[in-house]
Amino acid sequence: MTAEPLPSIPDPVTLDLGYSFCPNDTFIFYALSHGKAPSPLPVSELLEDVQTLNDWAVQARLPMTKISYRAYFSVMKDYVALRSGGALGRGVGPLVVAREQLGDLNGKTVISPGALTTAELLLRIVYPQVNIVRARYDEVMPAVTRGELNGQRVDAGLIIHESRFTYPAHGLVKLLDLGAWWEGETGLPLPLGAILVRRGLPAAAQWALNEAVRASLEYAWANPQEPKSYIRQHALEMSDEVMQAHIDLYVNSFSADVGDEGERAVQELYRRAVAAGAVEESGLPLFVEPA
């Protein structure tokens, strides 16, 4: 079925789509950004680190964007999450790492990859008195290895994305797996990132974009070798093995559709974010629905 054009997006008739350099995003969006999957509009991709995308969403800058679930909870008045394209799962959580084993992290200084990341929300729930400083996600491990960030002593770092595969090479040890903590607490998969579209778009347009993202992922699954050069182009200094491990871990059935279990997980994370005072409660629906 051919999707109808999006009536509320003016000329030029391309859709700005923001997503990260990470292999799971470039794998999922390869077909959509290269005209290989059916879409209501041609897509113009904008690749940035997750914290920049989070900040842009606060400004409502893009019509469609990848974002941390924690950040999504702060921009729900402007955006709604697609059911496809996100990152949820088990064994996918952020890690706290350090140069050596530490005890209670309350009162310690930990580097976070961003105030609006799901990782920082989880850390603050587990250790309410932790001291946090922030750096871009790929700067966290080098700073922990040095023991300082901009002249300030740091004790540990909160790592996300491919860093969970590479931290031993930096001489670091794992203190806490926040994903394992979440799963033990809730029995649910951990919501990490979502794909958002502007809430003001017509419902038919929102759902057409959801189906376009799903089609893009299905194309990549059916043609796994084709996106590799595009993924490699944006994968920083990641080895091929780490790149594939990243895709295998973060791209799963929840990426095709969040499903009932994934939706419960997002609702629980939202409930805890509200209870922690991180966001205000909203009565808006979390996900797009079929038009």
- Compute the distance between CA of residue 282 and CA of residue 77 in angstroms, rounded to an integer: 8
- Residue 99 DSSP class: S
> What are the helix (H) ranges across the chain?
23-33, 50-58, 69-72, 118-126, 140-146, 163-166, 178-186, 203-222, 228-233, 240-250, 253-256, 259-275
What number of other Cβ atoms are within 10 A of residue 238's Cβ? 21
Buried b / exposed e over 35-56, threshold 16 CB at 10 Å, is ebbbbbbebebbbbbbbebbbb
Backbone angles phi, psi at 156, to 5 degrees: -155, 175
Token pair for 97: 């790492």
161 is catalytic: yes
Q: Are 199 and 77 in contact (CB under 8 A)?
A: yes
Residue 199 burial class via C-beta count within 10 angstroms: exposed 0-12, middle 13-18, buried 19 and up: middle
State both tokens at 137.
């996600």
Task: State the catalytic residue, choosing from 34, 161, 170, 234.
Answer: 161
For residue 211, the SS3 value is helix
The whole-angstrom separation of Cα 27 and Cα 273 is 30
Active centre residues (catalytic): 161
